[in-house]
Structure 1
Amino acid sequence: MTCGWAQSIEQLTERQRNRLEEATERLKVLRLEIRDQQIPMGKKLADLRYESNSKERLLKERQRLRDRSSLSLEQLESQVAAGKNELDYIAGNLFNEFESSFKAALSPGEISTFGEDLRQLDLLLERVDTTEAEKISASMEQIADSLDRIDGLLAGKRYPGSALDPEGKQLAGSFIQVGPLLYFISESKGTVGWVEETRTLKPKMRSIGSSEVKAIQNLSETGIGLLPVDPTLGDAVAFAETKESWQEHFKKGGVWVIPIIGFAILSMVVAIYKSIQVSLIRQPQPRVVHEIIEKLGADDSKGALSLAASQSGPAAQMLTEGVKNAGESVELVEEVMFESILGAQPKLERFLNVIAVTAATAPLLGLLGTVTGIIKTFKLMEIFGAGDPKPLISGISEALITTEMGLVLAIPALIAHALLSRRVAGILAQMEKLSIAFVNGLSRRDVGFKAAENSTD
């Protein structure tokens, strides 16, 4: 039994060993096969990885190109939209602004030359069936013409036309233009002058001196010469023309200037008369009163009366009346002298109220002229409208000049009245002072007489 189990174990062990050897052999063979296949498969794997990486890079590149194409398309669309907006702005705004500026820059003589072209351009731009390209092309042609115009102005040019002479007659001739300076010479070459801008459709000439006329005629005939230049472009000439004589100035003031001037003459005459009158009045010195009192104290009534009468001005009569009544009471003498002062006052103040009335009336007349001038201005506005101010100038001048004349009269009249009133008040005050001194002198004399009588008793 034991031998049988031992034999079985050995057989089993042998069988397992054989199987192990066979398995080992197969493992060796398999390892050899794997080793033989590992290199080609590794190369193939590397090739596949390389191919995968290449395709991955290609995929990324195409994705980047696709993204870039999408972005470029959006940018192009944005650029196209911005370009369209810019084109619309140029065609809709800048060209219109240029056309307006170009029209404003044209001289009166050039309006007839460029006027038809500008009118045709306006009609083309206003047509509905005109394409944007046609509008832009027409505007660019206009810009080219404006550049040619600038070249011509810099070098000087001459072109035919017609203008109104200073009397308003239309004359045919030619314009000579250098920069902003514009001259006109008629076909007969007898009428030459500056050309000024007006609100009328026709350019109007302005008269110039004989030397300037000869210079322009010489340039027109020979093409070479010196031109008279006004750097102010006519403003200096226009300013010189605003200077007017005092007759023209008064005439613009209308009918109310006549009474204002009348009051001015009256006020001036009265002021001169009163000035001479009060300036000739010489008031007696206070010592004269003392001398008269001394003569009266010495019972020299005739000497006192002669001295009082020899004085000048209204004070002489006052002192004379005082001497004549020196023998009366002091109160009576005082009343008599005060009566003389009251009698002299109207004579001194005579005609001063005339100056005061003219000083007060002149501004009212000026205000009346202002009202009538404004009414006239509104009437002219109803006829001519408010666009052109030239027809309204007469009413405005009447409104302002009458006010000016009223103030010009009132201010000196007020000053003259104040000065003359002050002078008259001074004369009356001096007379009152002399009368008080005279009365006080009589009072002291009477007191002296009484004291002398008492001492005698």
Structure 2
Amino acid sequence: MVRFMILMALFFSAFSYSETSVNQQLLDRIAKSKQQLMAIEKQVNQQSLSYQKRINQALNDVKDLRDKASAIQRVADEQILSVEQLSERVEKWRAQDNYQKLLLQSYFEQNGTPLGQFTNANGEVVISESVFNTLQSQLVDALVPRWQPSKVVDENGEIEHFNVLKMGPIALAYNQERASGGLIEKHVNQAIPSLVKGVYSEGEVAQLAQLNSTGLGTVMFDPTLGNAAKLQNKQQGILEHIKKGGVWALPILFFGALSLVVALIKAVQLLKLPSVKADLTARLSSAKDLRGAELTLVEIAKNYPVSSQRDDQLVAFLMKYRYQVENYLGVVATSAAIAPLLGLLGTVSGMINTFMMMNTFGTGDAATVSGGISEALVTTELGLIVAIPSLILSALLSRKAKSHNAKLEANAIQLSKYEF
């Protein structure tokens, strides 16, 4: 029995040893396979990069060959061009040359450069190296501003010599002898530029003098490039603005004045009316509190007994009194309704004139068209200015009158059945 147990132990130990040895062999094989796989992947990547470089080089060679083939084909096509095609191409080149010469001539004329040195005996501009050298020097001068003497119309309207500094579309001028300067502007039909009035103060002129002498200074300029000055010059007073409305502005102003006068008169009248309280029958004992229409209603009630005759007299007085209180209030309401209609009529009339001008002079000048439209809209503006206050005044006055009459009617109903 003991031998059997020893044999079994030896068997199991030998079995476990053999199993461990097999596992170790498997792990070694797996590690060796991984190393071989990584080596193969590295080799494949290197070959792929090599093939990719070859493909890119081949594509570049194909592109170069295509460009060469296109150039060869172009030369071959030009060799077989007909005389008419060659003539057409020459005409295009001549037109392009003439266009470039016109651009150069226009540029030199705008900058005041004499054209005699760039023209031939026939007076045509000749494109040469000197032309481009002159262009280069002028462009450099434009990029690097410099003070240059020039004639300028000063604030008094006199032509004086100023030092002018051009910075793109902005130009500054300064006269050291007169200690004056500022921004200058040049209109289309103006040969000599002029100083802009009322822009530079004494301190800003001093800064301009420092800039002229030392090259350092703080200057003020118009970022709108003259549009602000144009807008300031176009500012108008009330009368000039109303004149733009034309003949239709007159009836609008008439109804506005009529509405204002009537509203003021009716407002004073309504404010002067005695206040009406609801408890009239309770206040009959004190006759001092009764005034105006209330006192008249009480006298009518005292003169007539309780009957339909008293009611008729009270109603007749109320109708007459209502007419006196609400009289002419319709004028204010009518003015509020008519004023915008007159403004619309003036706008339509102005638009018709604008379209007639467009039909005559065309739509090339936007300022003419927009100016006519703005003038046509003035009547609409005036109509609304008159209508809105008139409508508000009409509502307030009507409410005041109706409230006063309603209180009187309530007191009259109480008096119609009151026994004295």
Q: Is the contact between residue 319 and residue 337 of structure 1 (CA under 8 Å) also seen in structure 2?
A: no
Counterparts of 1:244 and 1:213 in 2: how far apart (Å)? 29
Length-normalised TM-score, structure 1: 0.56
**2: CA distance between counterparts of 1:150 and 1:75?**
37
**1:48-87 aligned within 5 A:** 72-74=68-70, 77=73
**Identity over aligned residues, as a percent?**
28
| Residue pair 2:175, 2:181 contacting (<8 A) in 1 also | yes
**Aligned match of 2:398:** 421
- Contact 1:153–1:178 at 8 Å: present in 2 too? yes
1:213-292 paired onto structure 2 within 5 Å:
216=208, 225-292=217-284
Alignment of 1:320-339 (within 5 A): 320-325=299-304, 327-329=305-307, 331-339=308-316
User: How far apart, CA to CA, are the structure 2 residues paired with 1:387 and 1:191?
Assistant: 40
Match of 1:27 in 2: none
Structure 1 residue 284, shift from structure 2 partner: 3.0
Paired residues for 1:81-100 under 5 Å: none
CA 1:166 to 1:284, structure 2 compared with 1: closer, same or farther past 3 Å? same
| 1:316 counterpart = 2:307 | no
Change (3 A) 1:225 1:433: same
Paired position in structure 2 for 1:364: 341
Name which one, 1 or 2, has greater alpha-carbon Rg: 1
Tell me: CA distance 1:412–1:323, structure 2 relative to 1, closer, same or farther (3 Å). same
Matches within 5 A, 1:66-145: 72-74=68-70, 77=73, 112-113=110-111
Task: State the one-letter code of the partner of 1:353.
Answer: G
206, 212, 220: which one pairs with 2:196?
Answer: 206
Letter in 1 for 2:342: L
Q: Map Cα deviations across residues 256-296 of structure 1 (whole Å, 9 max, x no partner).
A: 4344333323212221222232234344323222343xxxx
C-alpha spacing 1:141/1:242, structure 2 compared with 1 (3 Å): same
Q: Secondary structure at the match of 2:280?
A: helix
What do you get for the CA RMSD once the two structures are aligned? 5.3
159 and 244 in structure 1: CA distance in 2 versus 1, 3 angstrom threshold: same
- How is 1:393-432 mapped onto 2 (pairs within 5 angstroms)? 395-432=372-409
Cα displacement string for residues 340-397 of structure 1 (whole angstroms, at most 9, x for unaligned residues): 1101111111221221232223223323432443455456657866444555676444
Shift of 1:400: 1.8
- Aligned to 2:141, which of 152, 168, 185? 152
Count of aligned residue pairs for this structure pair: 343
TM-score, normalised to structure 2, is 0.60
In structure 2, the CA distance between the partners of 1:141 and 1:287, relative to structure 1 (3 Å rule), is: same
User: Does the alignment pair 1:343 with 2:320?
Assistant: yes
Whether the aligned pair in 2 keeps the contact of 1:192 and 1:216 (CA below 8 Å) is yes
Does residue 166 of structure 2 align to residue 177 of structure 1? yes
Distance 1:220 1:385 in 2: 48
Larger RCO (alpha carbons 8 Å, 6+ apart): 2
The answer as to whether partners of 1:283 and 1:315 remain within 8 angstroms in 2 is no
Distance across 1 between alignment mates of 2:239 and 2:181:
30
5+ residue gaps in structure 2?
1-63, 78-91
Q: Give how far 1:178 is off.
A: 2.0
Per-residue deviation, residues 293-335 of structure 1 (Å, max 9, x unmatched): xxxxxxxxxx5xx72x84244333233322322x241x22221
Q: 1:290 to 1:69 in 2, by over 3 A?
A: closer
Aligned to 1:56: none
Partners of 1:174 and 1:186 within 8 A in 2: yes
Q: Cα gap change, 1:436/1:168 in structure 2, threshold over 3 Å: closer, same or farther? A: farther
- Helix, strand or coil at the partner of 1:286: coil
Which of the two has greater helix per residue? 1
Alignment of 1:372-387 (within 5 A): 372-374=349-351, 376-377=353-354, 386-387=363-364
1:196–1:205: 8 Å Cα contact kept in structure 2?
yes
**Secondary structure of 1:177's partner?**
strand
Secondary structure of 2:111's aligned partner? helix
CA contact (8 A) 2:278 2:407 kept: no
> Residue type of the partner of 1:178?
M
